[in-house]
Amino acid sequence: MMHKFSSYIKAFFCLFCILLYQYNSAQEHPSLILTKKGVAEIRANLGKFPLFDESVSNAKAQVDAEILNGIEVPIPKDYSGGYTHERHKKNFMMMQKAGLLYQILNQDKYAEYVKNMLFQYEKMYPTLPLHPQTRSYARGKFFWQALNDANWLVYTSQAYDCIYDYLSPVERKRLETNLFCPLADFISLENPKFFNRIHNHSTWANVAVGMIGLAMNNNKLIDRALYGMKNDGIKPGEKDNDGGLLKKPGQKAGFFANIEEPFSPDGYFTEGPYYQRYAMYPYIVFAEALQNKKPKLKVFDYKNGVLLKSLNTLLNLTDSDGKFFPLNDGQKGMSYYSRELVFSLDAAYLFGGKDSGLLSIAQKQGEVTLDDAGFAVAKAIHEGLATPLEKISVEYSDGPKGDQGGVGILRSKGSKEDLTLVMKYTAQGSSHGHYDKLSFSFYEGGNEVLQDYGLSRFVNIQQKGGGNYLKENKTWAKQSIAHNTITQNETSHFSGDYETGDQFHSEKYVFDASNPKLQVVSAKETNAYPGTELQRVLALIKEGSFENPFLLDIIKIKSKTNNQYDLPYYYFGQIVSTNFKYMSPQTLSPLGTKNGYQHLWKEGEGSQVDDNIKISWFNKDRFYSMTSVISNNDKLIFARIGANDPDFNLRNDPAIIIRKQDTKDTYFVSAIEIHGNYDPVTEIGTNTYSTIKKLDIIYQDENYASVRIENKDGESSNFIFAFNDADKYSQHQIKINEKDYKWTGPFTIINN
Amino acid sequence: MMHKFSSYIKAFFCLFCILLYQYNSAQEHPSLILTKKGVAEIRANLGKFPLFDESVSNAKAQVDAEILNGIEVPIPKDYSGGYTHERHKKNFMMMQKAGLLYQILNQDKYAEYVKNMLFQYEKMYPTLPLHPQTRSYARGKFFWQALNDANWLVYTSQAYDCIYDYLSPVERKRLETNLFCPLADFISLENPKFFNRIHNHSTWANVAVGMIGLAMNNNKLIDRALYGMKNDGIKPGEKDNDGGLLKKPGQKAGFFANIEEPFSPDGYFTEGPYYQRYAMYPYIVFAEALQNKKPKLKVFDYKNGVLLKSLNTLLNLTDSDGKFFPLNDGQKGMSYYSRELVFSLDAAYLFGGKDSGLLSIAQKQGEVTLDDAGFAVAKAIHEGLATPLEKISVEYSDGPKGDQGGVGILRSKGSKEDLTLVMKYTAQGSSHGHYDKLSFSFYEGGNEVLQDYGLSRFVNIQQKGGGNYLKENKTWAKQSIAHNTITQNETSHFSGDYETGDQFHSEKYVFDASNPKLQVVSAKETNAYPGTELQRVLALIKEGSFENPFLLDIIKIKSKTNNQYDLPYYYFGQIVSTNFKYMSPQTLSPLGTKNGYQHLWKEGEGSQVDDNIKISWFNKDRFYSMTSVISNNDKLIFARIGANDPDFNLRNDPAIIIRKQDTKDTYFVSAIEIHGNYDPVTEIGTNTYSTIKKLDIIYQDENYASVRIENKDGESSNFIFAFNDADKYSQHQIKINEKDYKWTGPFTIINN
C-alpha cells in the first residue's frame, strides 16, 4: 500500500515536473527560431561546420559595420527606395541578426545594440503619426504601408526574443507597453482591412502580431494572430487600392485561414511564385516559432502539411537557374537565392523530415539561417548528406481544395539544357493575378524562349514610380494580349474585370508526363469569353530527327459568334527568316487603342497563301523556328512592345501574332523548335534550319483532332488528341484518310 | 705547310658540310610550321605537357571522326554557310590537322587520309570551271570567292609539307602539276586584282602562293608571293565590289608590301581588329615558314618586327573578355579565342622572345597549335612560366609610317571591373572602314556601356543574305550617325564617299595616360566636313566622390557656316529618368530619309530650358547617367535603330541624340557615369542616382575651355584644356571669374 502510495507520489511528482518544465520551456528565451537547447549545441560546435560559420561571419561583418556606423532611427518620410524606408528596413534586419549573434556568440555588444535601437523606437513610437505618404489603403507608421510595419515587427520579435533575458523586467515592460503592444494593435485592431483578410499582406500582419505575442507570451495576441478578429467592420464588396476584394462573405481570417485559402493541397499559392516567395517567410517563421512554443498545435501538419509541401512546390516553380516563373505579378530575376527561401528551406529541412535534396539547394544558396534549422542544414552538408534535387514534370492544382485549375510544368532533357514548359490554367490569383487563361512560357535552361512578361514595376527603384506598381502594370502587363494566349476581339479575358475573373478558373483536362518522349498538358477555359470555349493542348515531343524535343501547341476554339482571335508568341532575339511576304510600314502605329493593344507597335503585317508559315529567329547564339498551320484569311503581325509608353517603363520585346479574323470555330496549331548554334569565334552556324517540313491538321471533328508533323526527310508522325474524354483507359477509334486509328487514353502519337 | 693545307681542307670541308646541311635542311620535310627537329622533340615528349596533349587529342578526335565519315569532295555550288562551302572549308582544316597528326603520332592513316583527299581534288581540278555563284569580283573554283581558295591552299600546303616524304615522287609530280601549280597560278596570274593589291584578301593570296611555293621548293612562286607580279593589268581607279580602290598609283604588291602598307609601326592594322585577326593567320604562318626555310630573309625583323608586335597590339584591342573592339566592319563576339589568334600567339611566343605574358592568354585559350610553337607554349606553361598579361592604356598610330591618326585606348580600374574607352581617329581603314571620325566606345569589363554598332552582317548565316554583307552595312553601319560622333547636316563624314575619305585621316593631338586619375585622349578632324573643324577630348577622371571614374566628353566645333550638329550616344538598356520634358509620338517616324537617318525611329523629342540635361538608364543591374551642357535651342532625341529594315537585319538598340541647330561654333560637353547596382533577389538598389549635380562650361575662347564638374556634395573641380598647344612642357595661364589659373601641358584639373 505504502509502495503504491509512493508510486502515486512519484507519478504525481513526475507529472508536476513535466508541467513545470513545459511551463518553463514555454517561458524560456530564446524560443522562437532559436531555442535554448539549439543555442547550446550551436555554441558547442562553432568552427566545425563551414556553411554555418561563414553565415555567422557574414552576419557579424554586417552588424559590426552597423554598430560602428551608429544607430539611426529617422522620422519616417519616404516611399520604398527612399532613405527613411531603406533605413528602417535595414534596422529590423540588423536587429534580428544582432539578436541571433548575441545568442550564438554570447557577446553583450549585440544585445546592447538591439536594446539601444529598440529604445529609440520606443521613444519615437507613442507620438508618431501615420506615415506622411498617403498612397496605401493601410498606411503604416514607420513605413508608407502597414505591411512594412508588419515586416518590422516579425523581425524585431525575434530580436526581442533573443535579448529578452538580457533586459530587466522594467525595460521589458517599457518596450511592451510603449512599443510592441501598441504596434501589434495598430497592425490589427486599427487596420482591420489589412489584418483580417486573405492576402499575403494579412499573413504578414497575422504573423507580426503572433510573433510578438509568442515573444511576450501574450495569448490574446497569439489568438488574434491565429484566428483573426471577430469584428472587423469590413463592408461586403470593399476593395483595396489594387482593385482586390477585401473579403468574401463568410470568409474566416487569421493565420490558419491564410494557410487554408491561398494554398492548394499541392502547396501552390494562388498569387503565384513571386508572392509565394514573399509570403513564405512569415508562414514559416511563425510556424517554426509555434512548433517550438506551442507544439500541440502541430502547425506543420495543418492541411496535410501544406506549409512544408509548399516549399518544395516553390522550388519546382523555377527555371534551371532557380529563378521563379514570373506568373501573375512577378519580378523577373527573383529566385530561390532570396533570403525568404534560405530561411524556409532550412526550416523545411529541420521540420520536414530532413530531405537530403534540399541540402543541395542550400549548398547553392551558400548560406544558412543563424538558428536551429540553419545549424542542422550546415551540419548535414558538412557530413556529406546532400543529394541533387531533381526537378520534375508536375501539375500543381490551384484553389483551397485543389479544384480551381492549376499550373502544369513539363520538363524534358534538351541537347544543351533542360527544356521547361509552364502552362497556366489557374484561378484569378487574387489581386496580383493576370488575365492570361491557358497562357504558357517556355524555357531552355535559365533562358526564356517564349516569355511571360511578368509585372510592370521596378521594385524599390525610386525613380520608377517610387518603386511601386507602374500604371503599365494594369494597362499592359495584366492584359491578355501581353501573354502567349488567345485574345478575342481585342478584349482581355473577363473583359479585364477582377470581380468577374475572380469567380472563375480554368479546368484541368490532361496532365501526363509518364512518357518522357511525349508529355502532354491540356486545359479548358469556358468563362474568359462567354459563348466561346477554349481548349489548349501543349505537348513536348521528343523525336529522333529533332535536335531537341519540340513543342506542339494546339488551341481549339468553339464559339457561338464570329470573332477575331489573336495569338501572340513573345520571343526574344532577331528574325532570321520567314517564308511569307509582309509589308513593313514606313511609320509605326500602335496595334490598337486599348486592353494592352495600345502598347504594341505594329512592325509588319503579312499573310500567306500556303497553309504553313515558318518564322525563324536567332538569340544568344541559338536558333528557333515556329511552324504554324495558317488559312488564307489569317494575318501574321510582327509587333514590339513600347507604344504609348512615355516614361519608357516597358521593355521593347518583340512578338509574332497570328490573327484569325471573322471566325467562329477554329484551331491554332503551331510547332516550336529550338535548334542549332552560332559560334561568333569560329563563325560557324550549325543546324540553323527548322527540321519541320510540313505541319497539317489531317483530321478534325467535335471530339478529335490529328496533327501531322512531317520532317525534312519526309518522315512524319500523327499526334491525335481527344478533346472530350480525358479518361486514360478510354478506347478511341477514328478513321483518317481511310485508315483506322485505335488508341487508349486521351492522346497518342503514331509514326508513319 | 701540310698543317696549313689540311686546315684549308678541313675548313673547306666544314663549309661544304654547312652548305650541304643548309641545302638538305631547305629541302627536308616537314619544314613549314613543323620542323624535323621539332617533330623529334614533340614525339619524345608526348604525354608530358597537358595542353599540347589535349590539343593533339582534340585534333585526333576530329580527324578520326572525319576519316570514319569518309572523304567528301563535292562539286562546288554554295555560298558561305551552304553545304559545299562548309564541306570544302572543313576539308582543308582537316587535311592540315591530319598532316600534323601524321608527323606527331607517326601513324600512316593520317597521311593516307590527306593523300586520298588531295587526289580527289587533283582529279576534280583540271576540269573545274569558275564557281557558279557570281557575286565576287574574284570568283574562286572551290569557293564562291578566290579568297577562300587561297585559304584552302594556305592550309593544304601545310598538309602537303607534312606528307611530302610519304608520297612517291610520281605522286608529288601529279599533285603539283595538276593541282597545286595551276591553283597557285589561278590565284595569282589569273586574278591579278585579287593577288596584286594591298588588302587582307591579297595577303591570303600572296601567302597561299608562297606557302605552296615553300612546300614545293618553287622559288618562282615564292618570289611572286613575296614581291607580287610585275604586270597585273589593273587600271588606275578600278574598284572592288565593296567600293574599295584596287590599287593606288605606284603601289607595290606582294607579301612584303602587304606588311608595309596596312600595318602602322605600332602594329595597328588599318582595317581594324576584326580583319587584323583574320589576316594574322596568313601573315604569321608564312612568316613562320619563311623563318624556318629562308631564315636569311629575317622576316620577323621586317619593319622593326611589326608582325609580332601586331599580335600584342591585337591582344590589347580587346575588352576584358578578350573580344575585339568592333571598329570598322567587325562582327561582335570575335575574340582572341579564335583559331587565328591561337596560332599567332603561339608563334609570337616562340619567335618573339618568349614573352611569358602571352602564356596566360594561351592558358585561357585552352589549346595550342600542333607545331613547334604550340609545343614550346605548352611546355612553358607546364613549367609554370605564365604571368598575367596586363592590358594597358595605349595609343596606336595608324598608317604605314604611323602618321595617319590612330586609336587611343584608356583603361582605368572601376568599382566592379576595368573601364575601357576606345577612341578612333584613324585613316579610312580601307574598304572596311566606317565614316566615324573621332568616334568612341566605352566598356565596363566585357559589357558595352556605349557601343560601336559594328558591321551589319551575320557571317556565315546563310538565311541572312548568304552570310555576306547586308545592304544595311552601307546604308546604316558605315554611316556617321550610326556612331558616337558628330554628324553635320544629316550627312556622313566625307559625304560617305570612299575615295574622299581614303585621302584623309584625323590628327592625333594628345594622348596622356601617365596619371591614372586623369587620362586624356584628344584628336582633331578637319576634313570630314570641309569648312568645319572638329576636336574631341575624352577624359577618364577618377575622383573620390564617384563610385567609378567618369567619362568627360568635350567636342569643340568651329565652322565657317551655320549647321545642324547631331551627337548620338548608343547606350543599352532602359531609361530610368530624365530631367526634361519630351513629347512621345503616337506614331513613330524615321528620323530622316538618308545617310543612316532613315534607319532610326524617333521615339521622343524634348528640349530643356535649364542648362543641364540628365538622363539615367539601367541595364543588367547597373545604372548609368549622362549629364550634358545644353543650350535653349538644343533638341534631345530618343531614337531606336530599326526603321526601314524590312528584313529585320538591324538590332533595335536605342540612342539619345543631342542636336544643335543652326549653329556655327559650339561645344558639346557631357559626363557619363557608371554607378550603382540592383539586385533582383534582394530587390535592393544602391547608388542609383548620378553623383554629378552640375556641369558647366565656365570658360571658353579660341585656345582654351574649362569645364566645371560639381558633385552632389557641392564639391567641384575644373578641367581645363588647351586646344592649340599639345606640348607637354608649355606653360599656360588663363583667368576664370577673376581668378588666375596656371598649369603646364595641354590639360589640367583643379579641385575647388
pLDDT in tens, A144-155: 999 999 999 999
Option in B332, B681, B688 nearest A334 (CB)? B681
Q: How far away is chain A from the Cα of B262, in angstroms, using its nearest Cα?
A: 23
Option in A576, A590, A645 nearest B463 (CB)? A576
Region A247-253: mean pLDDT is 84
Q: Quick one: pLDDT at residue A1? A: 45
Contact B586/A at CB under 8 A:
yes
Same structural domain, A542 and A593: yes
What's the order of all strands across the beta sheet hosting A507-512? A507-512, A518-525, A532-541, A550-559, A666-675, A622-629, A612-619, A574-578
Residue among A29, A85, A432, A493 flagged as catalytic: A432
Same structural domain, A325 and A406: no
Query: Binning pLDDT at 50, 70 and 90, where does residue B10 land?
Result: low
Region B176-192: mean pLDDT is 97
Region B577-595: mean pLDDT is 96
Half-sphere exposure of B722 (CA within 13 A, CB side): 19
CB A318 within 8 A of CB A335: yes
> Could you say which residues from 81 to 100 on chain B have a Cβ atom under 8 Å away from some Cβ of chain A?
81, 86
**B432 annotated active-site:** yes
Strand partners, A313: none
Contact B86 A684 (CB under 8 A): yes
Q: How far away is chain A from the Cα of B646, in angstroms, using its nearest Cα?
A: 5
Same structural domain, A311 and A417: no
Locate A444 and state its grid cell: 531552355
Mean pLDDT (chain A, rounded): 94
Residue A529 lies in a domain: yes
Region A193-211: mean pLDDT is 94
Option in B576, B584, B680 nearest A332 (CB)? B680
d(CA A138, CA A241): 9
Q: At what angle do helices A339-351 and A273-293 cross, to 10 degrees?
A: 40
Using a CB-CB cut-off of 8 Å, the residues of chain A touching B685 are: 81, 460-462
3-state secondary structure of B298: coil
Residue A286 lies in a domain: yes
Contact A678 B461 (CB under 8 A): yes
Contact A331 B683 (CB under 8 A): yes
Comparison of pLDDT for A243 and A592, the residue scoring more: A592
Given B177, B204, B236, the domain boundary residue is B236
Query: Binning pLDDT at 50, 70 and 90, where does residue B8 land?
Result: low
Contact B462 A584 (CB under 8 A): no
Among A254-263, B229-238, B287-296, the range scoring the smallest mean pLDDT is B229-238
Residue of A nearest to B575 (CA): A648
Residue A397: other Cβ atoms inside 10 A: 19
pLDDT in tens, A595-636: 999 999 999 999 877 789 999 999 999 999 999 999 988 999
pLDDT at B545 over 80: yes
> Could you say which residues from 548 to 577 on chain B have a Cβ atom under 8 Å away from some Cβ of chain A?
574-577
**B275 annotated active-site:** yes
Same structural domain, A540 and A428: yes
Query: Binning pLDDT at 50, 70 and 90, where does residue B17 land?
Result: very low
Query: Binning pLDDT at 50, 70 and 90, where does residue B13 land?
Result: low
pLDDT in tens, A307-346: 999 999 999 999 999 999 999 999 999 999 999 999 999 9
pLDDT in tens, A733-744: 999 999 999 999
Contact A464 B648 (CB under 8 A): no
Q: Quick one: pLDDT at residue A237? A: 80
Query: Binning pLDDT at 50, 70 and 90, where does residue B404 land?
Result: very high
Same structural domain, A525 and A559: yes
Residue A253 lies in a domain: no
Residue A228 lies in a domain: no
Comparison of pLDDT for A19 and B38, the residue scoring more: B38
Using a CB-CB cut-off of 8 Å, the residues of chain B touching A458 are: 576, 618, 678
Query: Binning pLDDT at 50, 70 and 90, where does residue A12 land?
Result: low
Region A14-36: mean pLDDT is 68
- From residue A425, how far is each of A168, A304, A506, A521 by CA, in Å? 56, 24, 5, 10
Contact A601/B at CB under 8 A:
yes
Same structural domain, A329 and A403: no
Helix (H) or strand (E) holding A64: helix A50-69
Given A677, A695, A713, the domain boundary residue is A695
Q: Quick one: pLDDT at residue B233? A: 84
Same structural domain, A339 and A410: no
With pLDDT > 70 as the criterion, what percentage of chain B qualifies?
Answer: 96
Mean pLDDT (chain B, rounded): 94
Residue B353 lies in a domain: no
Give the residue from A131, A116, A43 showing the smallest Cα distance to A85.
A131
- From residue B648, how far is each of A243, A379, A591, A661, B266 by CA, in Å? 40, 55, 19, 26, 39
Q: Quick one: pLDDT at residue A238? A: 82
Residue among A121, A160, A268, A275 flagged as catalytic: A275
Q: How far away is chain A from the Cα of B273, in angstroms, using its nearest Cα?
A: 13
Look at chain A and report how many structural domains it folds into.
2
Residue B636 lies in a domain: no
Distance of CA A557 to the CA centre of its chain: 29
Residue B727: other Cβ atoms inside 10 A: 11
Interface test with B, best of A336, A683, A686, A688 (most B CBs within 10 A): A683
Query: Binning pLDDT at 50, 70 and 90, where does residue B242 land?
Result: low
pLDDT at B693 over 90: yes
Contact B333 A590 (CB under 8 A): no
Q: Quick one: pLDDT at residue B245? A: 73
Contact B337/A at CB under 8 A:
yes
3-state secondary structure of A540: strand
Helix (H) or strand (E) holding B577: strand B574-578
Contact A685 B577 (CB under 8 A): no
Contact A379/B at CB under 8 A:
no
pLDDT at A129 over 50: yes
Interface confidence, given as ipTM, is 0.90
pLDDT at A7 over 90: no
Q: How far away is chain A from the Cα of B248, in angstroms, using its nearest Cα?
A: 32
pLDDT at B179 over 70: yes
Same structural domain, A552 and A600: yes
Burial classification of residue B268, based on how many CB atoms lie within 10 Å of its CB (0-12 exposed, 13-18 middle, 19 or more buried): buried
Same structural domain, B77 and B9: no
Region B306-315: mean pLDDT is 96
First to last CA, chain B: 90
Query: Binning pLDDT at 50, 70 and 90, where does residue A5 land?
Result: low
Q: What stretches of A70-107 show up as alpha helix (H) in DSSP?
A: 83-105
Q: Quick one: pLDDT at residue B632? A: 85
Strands A612-619 and A574-578: antiparallel
Locate B699 and state its grid cell: 570658360
Q: Quick one: pLDDT at residue A239? A: 78
Same structural domain, A515 and A582: yes
Q: Quick one: pLDDT at residue A246? A: 78
Residue of A nearest to B80 (CA): A684
Using a CB-CB cut-off of 8 Å, the residues of chain A touching B339 are: 682
- Structural domain including B162 reads 71-236
Q: Quick one: pLDDT at residue B12? A: 58
Residue B510's CATH number:
2.70.98.70
Strand partners, A721: A705, A747
pLDDT at B471 over 70: yes
Strand partners, B705: B700, B721
Contact B593/A at CB under 8 A:
no
Contact A338 B81 (CB under 8 A): no
Query: Binning pLDDT at 50, 70 and 90, where does residue A268 land?
Result: very high
Among A167-171, A437-441, B2-6, the range scoring the smallest mean pLDDT is B2-6
> Could you say which residues from 437 to 496 on chain A have a Cβ atom under 8 Å away from some Cβ of chain B?
458-464
Q: Quick one: pLDDT at residue B609? A: 75
Residue A318: other Cβ atoms inside 10 A: 23
Q: Quick one: pLDDT at residue A726? A: 97
d(CA B55, CA B555): 50
pLDDT in tens, B590-632: 999 999 999 999 999 998 777 899 999 999 999 999 999 999 8
Option in B331, B575, B681 nearest A337 (CB)? B681
pLDDT in tens, A323-333: 999 999 999 99
Contact B249/A at CB under 8 A:
no
Contact B588 A586 (CB under 8 A): no
Among A231-245, A568-582, B167-181, the range scoring the smallest mean pLDDT is A231-245
Contact B712/A at CB under 8 A:
no
Residue of A nearest to B678 (CA): A461
Region A524-528: mean pLDDT is 98
Residue among B29, B199, B201, B432 flagged as catalytic: B432
Option in B332, B458, B681 nearest A335 (CB)? B681
Q: Quick one: pLDDT at residue B1? A: 46
Contact A644/B at CB under 8 A:
yes
Using a CB-CB cut-off of 8 Å, the residues of chain B touching A588 are: 587-588, 601
Residue B269 lies in a domain: no
Contact A333 B464 (CB under 8 A): no
Same structural domain, A584 and A565: yes
Q: Quick one: pLDDT at residue B22? A: 46
d(CA B483, CA B636): 17
With pLDDT > 70 as the criterion, what percentage of chain A qualifies?
Answer: 96
Q: Quick one: pLDDT at residue A245? A: 73
Using a CB-CB cut-off of 8 Å, the residues of chain A touching B680 are: 331-335
Query: Binning pLDDT at 50, 70 and 90, where does residue A27 land?
Result: confident
Q: Quick one: pLDDT at residue A17? A: 45
Residue A421 lies in a domain: yes
Strand partners, A743: A732
Locate A186 and state its grid cell: 495598430
Contact B601 A588 (CB under 8 A): yes
- From residue B274, how far is each of A502, A725, B79, B129, B330 by CA, in Å? 58, 61, 21, 32, 5
pLDDT in tens, A416-440: 999 999 999 999 998 899 999 999 9
Given A383, A404, A419, the domain boundary residue is A383
Q: Quick one: pLDDT at residue A10? A: 61
Same structural domain, B18 and B143: no
